[in-house]
Structure 1
Amino acid sequence: MATTSKQPRLKLDDQLCFALYAATNAVVRAYRPLLGELGLTYPQYLVMLALWQDGGMAVHDLASRLQQAPSAITPLVDRLEAAGFVARARASDRRVVLVSLTEIGRQLEDKVATAQQAVVCRTGLGDRDLADLRQELEDLTDRIAATRAVPSDEPA
C-alpha cells in the first residue's frame, strides 16, 4: 500500500540546481566549437582566463582561483603545456610548481576574446544584465559556501 506524504512532490523543472545545470551546459556547448578551433577545451579556457588575468602562479593557487582541487588542475596544465600555451617551472621550494603563459599562450588571448564575445552575443543579454546575473551567481556561491561552515545541528 502506497503511503501519502504531506511533502510536496519534487519536480525537476522547479529545481534551482537543474536550471543552473542546464544553463551551464548551454554555455559550455556554445563555447565548445569556438574554443575547439583554437585548441582549447572549456576547462582549459578557464585556466587560461585565470593566467591572462592574474599572471603566472603556483598550481595550488590556480586550483584555488578556479575553486578546484590541484589534482583536477594538473591534467589541464599538462595538456596546455603540451600545446605550447603554458610553461611549468619549480619554485625555490621544489614542492611548488609555477605555471606561466608562453608567448603563444599570450597571443591566444585575442583570438579567445572573439570567441567569448560570440557567446555573450548568443545570450541575448546586455552588459548590465550580464553583470547582474554574474553578481547574483557569485552571491549564491558565497551564501552556499558560508552555510557549509555552519555545523549541521545549528540553524543556517
Structure 2
Amino acid sequence: MNKAILLPLMLVGTLTITGCATTQPVSPQEAAVKLQARQFVVQEDNAGAYLSPYTSDGVTAEWVEKSINAKLGSSLGGAAGAYAGQKLLEQVPFVGGILGQRMGNEAGRRIAIQSVGGETYIRETSDLSFNDYNEMAGWLLVNHAKHPQFQAVMDATYQIYPELQTAYANVVSGRY
C-alpha cells in the first residue's frame, strides 16, 4: 500500500481508538437518571425466577442482610472449584480453569444460598421478583442506587445471582 495513504489511515484509526478509550465511565447515579423514564418489569410477588434484594417497602430483604454477612461463601467456592478443576484437568489448564471456575461459582452460589437460610427462606422474605436479570438490574439501579448500602446490597445479591453482575454492568454502561 502507498505510504502516503497508509499514514492518514493509521492516524484516523488511532484517533478513533483513542476517542473510544477516553470515554468517561458513567456513574450508577448518572445511569439511573438516564433510565428514569424506562418502565422495568417487576413482579409484585415472589414467583419470579430472581428475587429482589429489596422489599416493596424499600428496605433490604432479610436474606440480603444474611448474605452480606455470609458473602465469603461464593468467593471460597469459586477458588475451591477453580483449584479442583485445575487438578482434574491439569493436562488442559485453560479448560480446567474455566470448568473449575464454573463449578466453583455454582458451589459458591449453593453455599451462599444455604448460608442465608435456603431458597425457601429467600422466597419467604421477598415480595418482589423478576424473570430477567437486565430488568432486575435496571429496576434496582433506578429505584435504589441512592440507598446508603446499595453497593453492599448488590455485592451480597451477586453471591446468590452471579449473572446479575454482568447485567448490572451492561445497564450502567448503556448496553441494555
Q: What is the TM-score with the length of structure 2 in the denominator?
A: 0.26
Which fold has the larger relative contact order, with Cα–Cα distance below 8 Å and residues 6 or more apart in sequence?
2
Q: What is the TM-score with the length of structure 1 in the denominator?
A: 0.28
Which is higher, the Rg of structure 1 or of structure 2?
Answer: 2
Normalized per residue, the structure richer in strand is 1
